[in-house]
Amino acid sequence: MDEKKKQRYLAIAEKLTELVGGKRNIQGVAHCATRLRIVLENNDVVDLKTIEDLDLAKGVFVAGDQLQIIFGAGLVNDVYEVFKEYTGMESMSLSDLKTEDNKKMNPVQRIIKALSDVFIEIMPGILAAALLTGLSGVLANIDFVQNNETLFGITRLINISSGAIFGFLPLAVAYSACKRFGGRPILGIVIGCIMLSNSLADAYAAAQGTVEVITLHIFGFGVDLVGFQGGIIVALLMGVVTAKLDIFFEKKVPEVIRLLVSPLLTTLVGAILLFTVIGPVGRGLASGLTGGLVWMTENLGVFGYAIFSGLQQLVVITGLHHVFGAIEAQLLADTGRNILNPLMSVAIIAQGGAVLGYLSRNYKDAKTKELCIPSFISVLFGITEPALFGINLRFKYPLIGGCIGGALGGAVVYFTNLAALGFGTTVVPGIALADPENNGYVSYVIAHLAALACGFILTFLFGTFRKKSLAAETIAAKSAGTATEASTDNADTKAVVSNETASTGKPVLSAAKEKLHAYTDGQMIPITEVKDATFAQKILGEGFAILPETGEVHAPVNGTIASVFDTKHAVCIVSEAGQEILIHIGLDTVNLQGKYFTAHVNSGDMITAGQLLVSFELNKIRAAGYDTVIPMVFTNVDNQPDMSGLNIRHVKQGDII
């Protein structure tokens, strides 16, 4: 790298470090074929807008815990090297990156991060269920809708749809957890199906004593055949266990019988553990939390009310909040009043206030709006899962603000002697259930406004404090000239196209000026239909993609292999005419760490069109839950090919594009 380029990249590194909150805020750095990936202590202090205008940057976004700046193939290598040197970061592999990041977390942080990772995966389904539930609750209380045959039928279908999604939530959690911890997602689905099997007694009916429970005796221990409806903790634990069992048996079972025996053993052992160990332990933990909260409201006066409403949403995380229905029904039968309903309602709206507090601090971020606004709407109808798992639990401090807001609302409920005359709805629809005695409707509104405002204000202030605290640390670090030791998170492996190769000085021709061959069999699709913004928005350049039917990628042109990734999921080629080409096998397949891939060429090899470059096990990659689309992108910055006349069709390897 010549001195002029190094100085330019150093200027980028200095400016980027400033825009991400200083060296103290940087936990780890790595890069893939096109993106510089930075793991930060606090993403809230990042100036995304200014980073977008950074020299040589083609785009920027935050994915999970990573800030990703797109520089493009070749260039990102040199920018990474200079940035790493400037910030004092170590060179790390993907596995090292994840290991070091986990080391910096205490057990509670690891649990919270795991919960966040698991539930972000299934958040669209939770949002759909929440909004459908809210809509169903509103329509069910409108006489015109109930008296109209068509509208009643539509309302009924909406109710069935929302109930089905929440009813199968443990299955979705088991699937997502299994995928998150490295197992095959389909085995997580299998375990989820076992948890909700029709051969088991319904968990809610069993809790109310309205269904007979069969007990088996295995090795002298009684095993109750009860389903795990609402068993989120159990589903989460089973997802993790299933993933570990899958990984273990995949390694230990001989390859000749692995396909049959490994999933069999994973499912069998997992099912036995579900009913004998994990199920009872998970249920015990969740029931203890639920029972303890109810005891507080009955024995600790205003403090009991405040503690219950402050912590009630933590029960929602376990999935055991549905058990409160039976307790509420008993309260109504014994006393004619239900004190738990308004306490749960203020706990819910306080979490909504926390969502608004977080939104107000990040209102410029489109993705934040996209998640926060529908989450808050669902809160208004009494559904907090989207808010909890999508935002508050994920970012931690909004959850704390929401819990304190709920506690304040609970105190207001106690002092106003507020109660409900029914159960089943909360927040906006729930006002219809409020006991009108002693200005009950007014008290209901006041308690909810207090909880909402407290959750909002505290979350906003916590966010401000965190930002100022981090800024102070950054200034102190600059003054002392110190840098933190790097930890790491999710990132692709090293990119391998050198800047010298990308700047060979050869004339860059469009794809139309040299014969371009199909690199695999399958259906071509426009690059804009690839389910990854970096490709779809053409940030890396023009191109197209193929949905593969075989597990082979062949050379599309004559040329030279600029690089083969360590994980073998991507190759970079410089054609004879100087065209720079990136072929990327699948989306996020870097996480497979080379599993299922075999490279047949090395960096620097001369290749001819049609030569086999990489073979891969297509079905196993799909079974692992990865999108197997293969984008091909022309990464030349100065001369992009005109793809407007591209004939989108089914192709065979070797066909002229």
Per-residue model confidence as pLDDT tens digits over 139-180: 877 888 888 899 999 988 988 887 787 778 889 889 988 988
584 residue type, one letter: H
φ, ψ for residue 365 (rounded to 5)? -90, 120
Q: 629 CB contacts (<8 Å, ≥6 apart)?
A: 525, 530, 531, 545, 546, 547, 548, 586, 587
| Other Cβ atoms closer than 10 A to 297 | 23
For residues 98 and 306, which has the higher predicted lDDT (pLDDT)? 306
Q: Do 444 and 389 fall within a single domain?
A: yes
The pairing of strands 606-607 and 559-564 is antiparallel
> Would you place residue 478 in the very low, low, confident or very high pLDDT band (cuts 50, 70, 90)?
very low
> How far is Cα 85 from Cα 428, in angstroms, rounded to an integer?
55
State both tokens at 51: 């980073």
> How far is Cα 339 from Cα 327, in angstroms, rounded to an integer?
10
Q: What does the pLDDT look like over 277-335, one tens digit per residue? A: 898 888 777 667 666 666 777 788 899 899 888 988 887 765 555 556 556 655 555 56
CB 193 within 8 A of CB 245: no
Q: What is the mean pLDDT of residues 632-644?
A: 77
For residue 49, list its beta bridge partners: none
Q: Do 583 and 613 fall within a single domain?
A: yes
SS3 assignment, position 173: helix
Degrees to nearest 5, angle at CA 529 with 607 and 390: 120
Can you give the CATH number for the domain in which 565 is found? 2.70.70.10
pLDDT of residue 108: 59
Residue 177 covered by a domain? no
Check whether 502 has a pLDDT greater than 60: no
Residue 84 covered by a domain? yes
Q: What is the mean pLDDT of residues 29-55?
A: 79
Q: Do 528 and 466 fall within a single domain?
A: no
pLDDT of residue 90: 67
Q: Do 478 and 554 fall within a single domain?
A: no
Please provide the distance, in angstroms rounded to a whole number, between the alpha carbons at the two ends of the chain.
36
pLDDT of residue 651: 92
Residue 546 covered by a domain? yes
Q: Do 595 and 646 fall within a single domain?
A: yes
Residue 618 covered by a domain? yes
Q: Do 360 and 464 fall within a single domain?
A: yes
pLDDT of residue 497: 32
Q: Give the DSSP per-residue string, 618-657.
A: HHHHHHTT----EEEEE--SS-----TT----EE-TT-B-
Q: What does the pLDDT look like over 579-622, one tens digit per residue? A: 889 999 998 888 788 889 999 998 888 899 999 999 999 989 98
pLDDT of residue 472: 54
Q: What is the mean pLDDT of residues 365-389?
A: 81
Check whether 445 has a pLDDT greater than 70: yes
pLDDT of residue 496: 31
Q: Which of 67, 87, 104 finishes a domain?
A: 104
Q: Do 479 and 533 fall within a single domain?
A: no
Strands of 26-31's sheet, edge to edge? 26-31, 35-40, 66-70, 59-63
Q: Do 352 and 390 fall within a single domain?
A: yes
> How far is Cα 294 from Cα 434, in angstroms, rounded to an integer?
20
Name the H helices within 481-604.
499-502, 533-536
Check whether 490 has a pLDDT greater than 70: no
Least confident span in 19-23, 30-34, 575-579: 30-34
Least confident span in 24-33, 63-72, 97-106, 533-542: 97-106
Q: What is the mean pLDDT of residues 175-197?
A: 90
Q: Which of 440, 455, 486 finishes a domain?
A: 486
pLDDT of residue 480: 43
Residue 511 covered by a domain? yes
Degrees to nearest 5, angle at CA 428 with 423 and 434: 45
Residue 359 covered by a domain? yes
Check whether 105 has a pLDDT greater than 70: no
Q: Give the DSSP per-residue string, 148-159.
A: SHHHHHHHHHHH
Least confident span in 44-58, 92-106, 264-278: 92-106
Q: Do 477 and 505 fall within a single domain?
A: no
Q: What is the mean pLDDT of residues 46-73?
A: 77
- Identify the CA nearest to 418 among candidates 315, 426, 452: 426
Strands of 559-564's sheet, edge to edge? 606-607, 559-564, 570-575, 580-584, 630-634, 543-548, 522-526, 650-651
Q: State the average pLDDT for the chain.
A: 80
Least confident span in 68-82, 109-123, 260-274, 423-437: 109-123
Question: Which value, in Å, is the radius of gyration of the alpha carbons in the chain?
Answer: 28
248 residue type, one letter: F
Check whether 475 has a pLDDT greater than 70: no
Least confident span in 82-86, 246-250, 521-525, 548-552: 82-86
> How far is Cα 283 from Cα 288, in angstroms, rounded to an integer?
8
pLDDT of residue 357: 93
Check whether 505 has a pLDDT greater than 50: no
Q: Is 372 a catalytic residue?
A: no
Q: 269 CB contacts (<8 Å, ≥6 apart)?
A: 245
> How far is Cα 321 from Cα 650, in angstroms, rounded to an integer?
51
For residue 215, the surrounding DSSP H or E stretch is strand 215-218
What region, left, alpha or beta, does residue 132 occupy, with left being phi > 0 and alpha being psi -120 to 50 degrees?
alpha
Q: What is the mean pLDDT of residues 385-409?
A: 86
Tally DSSP H helices, then E strands, for the chain.
26, 17
Q: What is the mean pLDDT of residues 487-491?
A: 31
> What single-letter DSSP state applies at residue 565?
-
Q: What does the pLDDT look like over 350-369, one tens digit per residue? A: 999 999 999 988 877 766 78
Q: Give the DSSP per-residue string, 399-450.
A: HHHHHHHHHHHHHHHHHTT--BSS-S--HHHHGGGB--TTTHHHHHHHHHHH
Check whether 36 has a pLDDT greater than 60: yes
Highest-confidence segment of 42-46, 191-195, 428-432: 191-195
pLDDT of residue 498: 32
For residues 141 and 396, which has the higher predicted lDDT (pLDDT)? 396
pLDDT of residue 356: 94
pLDDT of residue 500: 33
Q: Is the pTM of this model over 0.75?
A: no
User: In the chain, what percentage of residues exceed pLDDT 90?
Assistant: 25
Q: Do 466 and 587 fall within a single domain?
A: no
Can you give the CATH number for the domain in which 20 is found? 3.30.1360.60
Q: What is the mean pLDDT of residues 410-415?
A: 93
CB 328 within 8 A of CB 312: no
Q: Which of 453, 486, 519 finishes a domain?
A: 486
Q: What is the mean pLDDT of residues 180-197?
A: 90
Q: Do 356 and 426 fall within a single domain?
A: yes
Q: Do 381 and 424 fall within a single domain?
A: yes
Least confident span in 227-231, 612-616, 626-630: 227-231
Residue 376 covered by a domain? yes
Residue 81 covered by a domain? yes
Q: What is the mean pLDDT of residues 204-218?
A: 82
> How far is Cα 317 from Cα 234, in angstroms, rounded to an integer?
11
Check whether 346 has a pLDDT greater than 90: yes
pLDDT of residue 492: 34
Degrees to nearest 5, angle at CA 588 with 583 and 590: 75
φ, ψ for residue 590 (rounded to 5)? -60, -30
Query: What is the domain count for the chain?
Result: 3
For residues 521 and 324, which has the higher predicted lDDT (pLDDT)? 521
User: In the chain, what percentage of residues exceed pLDDT 70?
Assistant: 80
pLDDT of residue 173: 85
Q: Which domain holds residue 468?
A: 300-486
State both tokens at 199: 């051969």
> How far is Cα 42 from Cα 58, in angstroms, rounded to an integer?
23
For residues 91 and 397, which has the higher predicted lDDT (pLDDT)? 397
Check whether 447 has a pLDDT greater than 80: yes
